[in-house]
Amino acid sequence: VTLASVTSGVQPDTPGLTVDNLGAMVGRQTPLLALFVPLLLVYVVDGRRGLRQTWLPAVVCGFAFAIGQFVCANYISVPLADIVASLAGAAAVVLLLRFWQPSESPQLARPAGRGPDPDVDGSGGGVSAGASRGVGTLTSRPATDSRAEIAKAYAPYAVIVAIFSVSNLPAVKAALAMEPWTLKFAWPGLDVLTTAGGPQASATFSFGWLPAAGTLMILAGLITMALLKVGPGRALKIYGQTYYELRYAIVTVMAVLALAYVMNQSGQTGTLGNFLAQTGGFFAVLSPILGWIGVAVTGSDTSANALFGALQVQTAASAGLDPVLLAAANTSGGVLGKMISPQNLAIAASAVGMAGQEGVIFRKVIGYSLVMLVFMCALVALQATPVLDWMIPTP
C-alpha cells in the first residue's frame, strides 16, 4: 500500500503502479524464496540431523506457503497474501502428519548426560533422562485441545480472511473507492508542478477511511471480540497497550513517509533516479539491494518503500527498465533485510532472553541474508530480460 502511494504520480504514463499490480509482482518473486525457508529454519535449529528427519514436512510447508502466497497475491487479495500462505503451510503440515511421522520421535528422551549429536550445528543439548527412566522412554504428552478451543484459536484469522475477501470483490471494491467511503481533495498549499509543467498527481490526497487495511483490521477485531467473548474494557486496554508498544514505530513510519513526500515533491528523487540510471540495465541487479539496505537501516519494509519506492520507479523509467518490476524488487529485497535490522535483532534477543547479544545473532544470520539477497538479485536481473520478463504482470 505504501509503495503504491509513494510511486503514484512519479510516472503518470505507467498505469501499473497500483496495489494489486505491485502485489502481484512481489507474489512472483518472494514465493521462490519461500520454497527453501522451512528447510533453512530446520537446519538452523537442528543442523543436518534435523534435515534428515524432517525434510519432507519442510518441503511440503515451503510449497504450500509459496503456492498460497502466489495465488492470493495474484488472484485474491494482496493484504491477505502472507496470512493465507501461513495458514496453507500450517494446514499442509498438519495434513501430512496424519499420514507420516519422522523416524525418530522428538518425544524420546536422550540418554543421561548425553549432549547434542556431533554433526549437529546449533542444536540444543536436549533433555536428560532421569535415573529411573530408561533410554527411549516417552515423556508425558500435553493435553490436547478440544475442537471448540481450536476453532476459537483460528477464528481471528478466519474473520480477517473473510473481511478482506469481501472487500476485494469487484463490486464492493468499486463502491468503497467512491464517496463517502473514500474522500479525495487537493492538499492545501501544495501547488507543485511536474517537470513537464503539469500538476502533480500526488498533490491530490486520497483518504480511504473505510477501505484502508487498518480500518478493516479494526472491524475484524470487533467481530473477534464478539466471537471470543472479550469484554469492551479488556479489549480497549489491550488496544491501548498495543499502540503504546508501537509508539516509536508509528512516529518513525510517519516521519519517513513525510520525508519521502518531500523528496518526491522537491525533485530530489528524480535527480537521484537520473544519476542511478547511468548504470543502465545493471540497475536491475542493484534494485533489491536498495530495499535490503532500507529495511536493514529502518527496520521496516514500509519505511524502505517510502524512501526508495519512487526512486526505483524514476530510475527504471530513465534506464529503460520496467518500473513495476523494480518497485516490487524494492519490497522483495527489503524482506531479506529484516533479519539483520538492529530493531528486529533487539526484539528477537529480548524475546528469547538474549538481551545484549544482538551481535551474536547478527553474525549467525548475516550469511543467510546475503545468500538469499544474491538469489533475489539474480531473479530480478533475469526478470528484466526476455528470459523471465513473462513473469511481469500486465496492468
Look at residue 137 in the predicted model and tell me its pLDDT. Answer: 45
pTM > 0.85: yes or no: no
H/E stretch holding 132 reads none
Look at residue 114 in the predicted model and tell me its pLDDT. Answer: 44
CA–CA separation, 268 and 184 (whole Å): 26
Look at residue 198 in the predicted model and tell me its pLDDT. Answer: 66
With 0-12 / 13-18 / 19 or more C-beta atoms within 10 angstroms meaning exposed / middle / buried, residue 186 is exposed
Map grid coordinates 528469547 to a residue.
352
CA–CA separation, 209 and 352 (whole Å): 38
Ranges of each domain in the chain: 149-245
Residues facing residue 185 across a β-bridge = 205
Look at residue 15 in the predicted model and tell me its pLDDT. Answer: 62
Report the chain's terminal Cα–Cα distance, integer Å: 17
Contact 342, 252 (CB under 8 A): no
What type of residue is 22?
Answer: L
Residues near 259 by Cβ (< 8 Å), separated by ≥ 6? 306, 307
Look at residue 382 in the predicted model and tell me its pLDDT. Answer: 96
- Tens-digit pLDDT profile for residues 350-391: 777 787 788 888 999 999 999 999 999 999 999 999 999 999
Residues with pLDDT less than 50, the chain: 108-138
Q: Name the grid cell of 112.
A: 543421561
Look at residue 329 in the predicted model and tell me its pLDDT. Answer: 95
- Tens-digit pLDDT profile for residues 317-363: 888 899 999 999 999 999 999 899 887 887 777 777 787 788 888 99
Round the CA-based radius of gyration of the chain to a whole number and report it: 24
CA–CA separation, 79 and 85 (whole Å): 11
CA–CA separation, 135 and 5 (whole Å): 60
Q: What is the DSSP string of 319-338?
A: HT--HHHHHHHHHHHHHTTG
Helices (H) and strands (E) in the chain, counts: 16, 2
Q: Name the grid cell of 328.
A: 516490487
Look at residue 127 in the predicted model and tell me its pLDDT. Answer: 43
Look at residue 299 in the predicted model and tell me its pLDDT. Answer: 78
Residues near 276 by Cβ (< 8 Å), separated by ≥ 6? 283, 286, 311, 315, 319
